[in-house]
Amino acid sequence: MIVRHVNDVIGTENEVRTDTWISRRVLLKKDGMGFSFHETIILPGTETHIHYKNHLEAVWCVEGDGEIETIADGKKYALGPGVVYALNEHDEHYLRGGKMPLRVICVFNPPVSGQEVHDADGVYPADLD
Ligand SMILES: CC(=O)NCC[C@H](N)C(=O)O
């Protein structure tokens, strides 16, 4: 069994920081679960263009506020505690931070390896070792 605390990831290479989010990747591809499991903080007032062409992602919003806009149809959804969204169609979207840090728990299938960041098109690479 694997038992970890998010504090074991903070400050390590598996806490990935960008200008718009911080991702603490607690379970990774190498753990063999078939998914990866992250705590992510979306920074207030930011916008991130995301298009997970190679992954499915489900997101559970725990605290804070923000917004997601699906680009294909221009629909906007408010994000806050208890909201869950699943990018079951690899939906290209804008993820926006609100007034407060938005803390979410994310699952990726297939799992990320640990160091992925979005490329210019909002994509994570298919298989990083
Ligand atoms: C919700 C979302 O996709 N945020 C970007 C970072 C991602 N959650 C990650 O943990 O790599």
61 pocket-lining for ligand 1 (C-beta < 6 Å): no
pTM: 0.93
Higher pLDDT, 88 or 112: 88
Expressed in angstroms and rounded, the spacing between residue 90 Cα and the centre of ligand 1 is 13
Per the model's pLDDT, the better-predicted residue between 126 and 23 turns out to be 23
| C-alpha 120 to ligand 1 mean position (Å) | 15
Domain 16-109 - what CATH class?
mainly beta
ipTM, 2 decimals?
0.93
% of the chain residues with pLDDT over 90: 86
Residues 15-44: pLDDT tens digits?
Answer: 999 999 999 999 999 999 999 999 999 999
Cα of 97 from ligand 1 centre, angstroms:
12
Residues 6+ apart with CB under 8 A from 111: 27, 28, 29, 31, 33, 34, 35, 36
Quick check: 128 pLDDT over 80? no
For residue 23, give the ligand 1 atom closest to its CA: 10
Comparing CA positions, the residue from 121, 80, 113 lying closest to residue 97 is 80
23 lines ligand 1 (CB under 6 A): yes
CA distance 13 to 117: 13
The pLDDT of residue 117 is above 80:
no
Strands 36-42 and 47-50, by their bridges, are unpaired
| pLDDT, tens digit (0-9, with 9 covering 90-100), for 56-88 | 999 999 999 999 999 999 999 999 999 999 999
Domain residue limits, the chain: 16-109
